[in-house]
Chains A and B, each alone.
Chain A
């Protein structure tokens, strides 16, 4: 009887498989390609390399318009299509020319850019100074990305290949801000002729041309042979949207994709141990930190804030929750950001924390809450911190909120403590310190500890207005020491950029902001 049932079940399963094959068939043209793996079947390109590179990312492009889609999944694609005036080399972190061949700062407020001649947009038209002016003005007027270029007062076209950019005030990080992909240069004629069309059919001057966007599924790009930086290494790029992190790893293992971005931390070891795969790890420009609301008691007391900083065992969080894919933070900017200087590591000292709490008048601790948006890693980090705070007598409640509500309520200053992640996209300290620590930026613009300290403000302003790099570095050093004394934020860790790849992938350099450039990447057969 048992045998019969087994047979029946086996038969049922086999029939289902067969029938679903038959039932779902029909329609559509027949294809000669077999197997599900496009990567495995991709036709060969030049010199023993595949002509198609497929990468998987967790979310679809929000907008193909670089002055609108500023989310990482959007930039990961648009960054292949568009270029900027300047660029920061991901390996050396040095500023390099891109569309601008050279520049000159004639006074504190004026930059004159010489535009490289012979750059072509994907439609064959020449890139001129008019396009640069049009693009920067367009970015300034876009609510989504204006913050990156709003230091610009005026853009003036001197001749076909020279542009003068005047800033509103002396602004040292100007050139690094212009390297952020949201300051992309777009073709004036095309955008003006059909702005709606441009959003679904983008035209840039980057290494890859746009071919197709199947929303929610994939984006196909093709190498732009006339790219001024040289012909890209791989002919075709395909971005696949795979929302589940576990599925991205599986797709990598089955060979369906060559690269997989943002992996789950528990998959990292699996990839590391697989001889057919390789793991690219690198430091990111992102810091996860807890903001303590200085407008609310007891966080208005520096001793309480210091006690919280002392009560957190950062190394334990990195080792367990992140599985080692991160580094303990000592400042809210990552070590690779221009202006970083370690103010000394945060000590883990629960005994001292208890003493400080007692001095502040809380010998038995107090009750508070820690807010987080609904990101799994952040929730786990918060739970760990809650347990750590409990050890020094602080009873802390984790409140998980949907992102919109989280942003709105923390902007209003309704929180006690909240966890945030911040990426220094311009790779310059000003980007972070001005937003998170300057008193003029309280609430929605970024300062959610509501710090209002004239000394901090003065240092931030001094560093952003001085062009002397050494003076800037010294000022930021002083600022970071001061902030560590104020303890308004508790930096927890710098996350690593982790990209899984097929072992045959060559030439990939992980970008610390995850805007990976793929024009030099190729996959061996």
Chain B
């Protein structure tokens, strides 16, 4: 098992190199000079030359990439073009905000998604199932900024219960400020999780061992949770892992609508201002997070399904 984890962690290195390589070259080869971008529409030739030198844009692209990777391996993600502040500090300052929002978002998604998925699967083709699936479809297709604004209008503007934007400072304020963005984020993921739960439950629901369990006189609750859900969990966990991974990467729309100071907004802002080190730093960080979440999901598999655990042991 540990060998497997170490192997997976080592495999992150080529992933990161690939990610940085692609992002670095896309950003540098896209039109628009970062120096001109920073200096705006009034920049003398001398100022542009000065800024390019300051940003180190005069070196060949490959040299710059090489330097970047060497620095990255030393834990230095560089400094932002825009404000000369450390990229690492900016990214790590924003990450906890994104993490707490992602965590709450995924909680909302699980609370809604799994029970509704189970009910839908058990009552397949009933009115309840059809309604749930329609709601789930709407949930998947609903744009975050629309749902977010709608919730703000109802709960902040009309009812005055919750703050419309921003991240509260600890305690109740934080909890209150988390509710609307979490519901916005969670609803979208909940829809995916509901559909995934329903379909994987349906796959196991007619298996022979379910009939056997029922024939043995096992209670319906135990049959549902122990025999059906546990066997149906692998694809659900995968879906949840993927959802959580992408939420950790920053839910850009939700963070923008709710003025949430997270990683997603940092990335949008830095892409807009072509702040290459900051975009790269955020992407590297997100890639690491995504890989880690995937690894955790793979480890969780082993606890859900003993067959997989035995396979890990063989490795």
Q: What residues make up the interface of A, taking CB atoms closer than 8 Å to B?
A: 1, 5, 8, 12, 15-17, 19-21, 23-25, 28-31, 33-37, 59-60, 62-65, 68-71, 143-144, 146-147, 150, 196, 199-200, 214-218, 240-244, 246-247, 250-251, 253-254, 256, 402-409, 411, 420, 422, 435, 444-446
Mask of B22-43 contacts with A, CB within 8 angstroms, 1/0: 0000000011111111111111
Asked if A20 contacts B37 (CB within 8 A), the reply is no
- Cβ of A420: which chain B residues have Cβ within 8 Å of it? 41
B260-286 interface bits toward A, Cβ cutoff 8 Å, 1 = contact, 0 = none: 011001100100111000000000000
Stretch at the interface among B165-173, B199-207, B296-304: B165-173
- Bound-state Cα–Cα, A250 to B150, Å: 12
- Of residues 52 through 83 on chain B, the ones whose CB sits less than 8 Å from some CB of chain A are 54, 82-83
Render B1-32 as a binary contact track against A, CB cut-off 8 A, 1 for contact.
00000000000000000000000000000111
Q: Render B227-252 as a binary contact track against A, CB cut-off 8 A, 1 for contact.
A: 00000000000000000000000000
B48, B83, B127, B156 pick with most chain A CB within 10 angstroms = B83
Q: Report how far A69 CA is from B152 CA in the complex, Å.
A: 32
Q: Which of A1, A23, A150 contacts B107 (CB 8 A)?
A: A23
> In the complex, what distance in Å separates the CA atom of A214 from the CA atom of B96?
13
Q: How far is the CA of A286 from the CA of B105 in the complex (A)?
A: 42
Which residues of B have CB within 8 Å of A28?
170-171, 174
Whether, in the assembled complex, B136 has its beta carbon less than 8 Å from a beta carbon of chain A, the answer is no
Q: B178, A24: Cβ atoms under 8 Å?
A: yes
Quick check: B168 and A36 within 8 Å, CB to CB? Answer: yes
Query: Which chain A positions have C-beta within 8 A of B142?
Result: none
Instruction: Tell me whether B193 is interfacial, beta carbon within 8 Å.
Output: no
Q: Which residues of B contact A251 (CB under 8 A)?
A: 164-165
Determine which of B40, B175, B261 lies in contact with A70 in the assembled complex, contact meaning CB atoms within 8 Å.
B40
Assuming A8-B128, A20-B178, what are 4 further A-B pairs, CB within 8 angstroms? A24-B104, A217-B97, A243-B259, A409-B31
Chain A, residue nearest B266 (CB): A216
Binds A, one of B179-187, B209-217, B218-226: B179-187
Known: A20-B179, A254-B156. A446 touches B41 (CB 8 A): yes
Residue of B nearest to A144 (CB): B39
Instruction: Return the contact of B36 from the options A19, A200, A411 (Cβ within 8 A).
Output: A411
Q: Are A250 and B166 in contact (CB under 8 A)?
A: no
Q: B288 interface residue, CB < 8 Å from A? A: no
Nearest-CB distance from A1 to chain B (Å)?
7
- Interface size for B (C-beta < 8 A) is 80
**Measured between alpha carbons, how far is A36 from B156 in the docked complex, in Å?**
9
**Alpha-carbon distance A214/B94, docked complex (angstroms):** 9
Which residues does chain A contribute within 8 Å of B33, judged by CB atoms? 404, 407-408
Picked from A23, A36, A146, A445, the residue with its CB within 8 Å of the CB of B173 is: A36
| Complex interface: chain B residues within 8 A of A21 (CB) | 175, 179
Does B191 lie at the interface of the complex (its beta carbon under 8 Å from any beta carbon of A)? no
Contact of A147 with B164 at beta-carbon distance under 8 Å, contacts A1-B127, A409-B31 already known: no
Q: Is the CB of A23 within 8 A of B104?
A: yes
User: In the complex, which residues of chain B have a beta carbon less than 8 angstroms from the beta carbon of A17?
Assistant: 179, 183
CA distance A132 to B268 in the complex (A): 38
Q: How far is the CA of A179 from the CA of B52 in the complex (A)?
A: 28
Pairs A-B, 4 closest by C-beta atoms: A404-B32, A36-B163, A216-B261, A28-B170
Rounded to whole angstroms, the CA-CA distance of A251 and B186 in the bound complex is 23
Q: Is the CB of B112 within 8 A of A12?
A: yes
Bound CA span A299–B162, Å: 56
Q: How far is the CB of A19 from chain B (nearest CB, A)?
A: 5
By a CB distance below 8 angstroms, the chain B residues around A15 are 111
Contact of A215 among B50, B94, B100, B163 (CB under 8 A): B94
Binding site for A on B (CB under 8 A): 30-48, 50-51, 54, 82-85, 90, 93-94, 97, 100, 104, 107-108, 111-112, 116, 127-128, 131, 145, 149, 152-153, 156-157, 160, 162-179, 182-183, 186, 256-259, 261-262, 265-266, 269, 272-274
B-side contacts of A5, CB under 8 Å = 127-128, 131
Residues in chain A near residue B112, CB distance under 8 A = 12, 16
Residue of B38, B51, B145 most packed against chain A (CB within 10 A):
B38
Q: Is there an interface contact between B167 and A217, defined as CB atoms closer than 8 Å?
A: yes
- Complex Cα–Cα for A240 and B163 (A): 13
In the complex the two chains form, is B36's CB within 8 Å of A404's CB? Answer: yes
- Contact status A24-B107, CB under 8 Å: yes
**Cβ of B166 and Cβ of A403 under 8 Å apart?**
no
Say yes or no: B179 contacts A217, CB within 8 Å: no
Minimum distance in angstroms from B173 CB to a CB of chain A: 6
Q: B10 CB to closest chain A CB, in angstroms?
A: 33
- 7 A-B residue pairs with Cβ-Cβ distance under 8 Å, sorted by A, are A16-B112, A21-B179, A62-B83, A143-B54, A146-B50, A216-B265, A250-B157
User: Quick check: B43 and A445 within 8 Å, CB to CB?
Assistant: yes
Q: Are A147 and B94 in contact (CB under 8 A)?
A: no
**Given B31, B38, B94, B170, which contacts A29 in the complex, CB threshold below 8 Å?**
B170
Cα distance, A491 to B173, chains bound together (Å):
48
A218 to B186, CA, bound (A): 26
Most-contacted residue by chain A among B33, B34, B100 (CB, 10 A): B33
List of B residues within 8 angstroms of A405 by Cβ: 30-32
Known: A24-B107, A217-B167, A403-B37. A444 touches B261 (CB 8 A): no
Residues in chain B near residue A62, CB distance under 8 A: 82-83, 273
**Cβ of A200: which chain B residues have Cβ within 8 Å of it?**
85
Contact between B164 and A256, CB atoms less than 8 A apart: yes
With both chains docked as a complex, state the minimum distance between the C-beta of A63 and any C-beta of chain B, in angstroms: 4
> Is the Cβ of A407 less than 8 Å from the Cβ of B170?
no
Quick one: which of A8, A16, A199, A244 contacts B183, CB cutoff 8 A? A16
A253/B178 in contact, CB under 8 A = no
Whether B261 and A422, one on each chain, are in contact in the complex, defined by CB atoms closer than 8 angstroms, is: no
Give the residues in chain A near B100, CB-CB below 8 Å. 24
Question: In the complex, what distance in Å separates the CA atom of A70 from the CA atom of B46?
Answer: 18
Q: How far is the CA of A403 from the CA of B269 in the complex (A)?
A: 13
Give complex CA distance A146, B157 in Å: 45
Alpha-carbon separation in the docked complex, A36 to B166 (Å): 9
| CB contact under 8 A between A407 and B44, given known A217-B261, A250-B156 | no
Q: B82, A243: Cβ atoms under 8 Å?
A: no
Bound Cα distance A16, B113 (Å): 11
Contact across chains for A29 and B157 when beta carbons are under 8 A apart: no
Contact in complex: A247, B165 (CB < 8 Å) = yes
Given A24-B104, A36-B163, A143-B54: A216 in contact with B262 (beta carbons within 8 A): yes
B39 pairs with A143, CB closer than 8 A:
yes
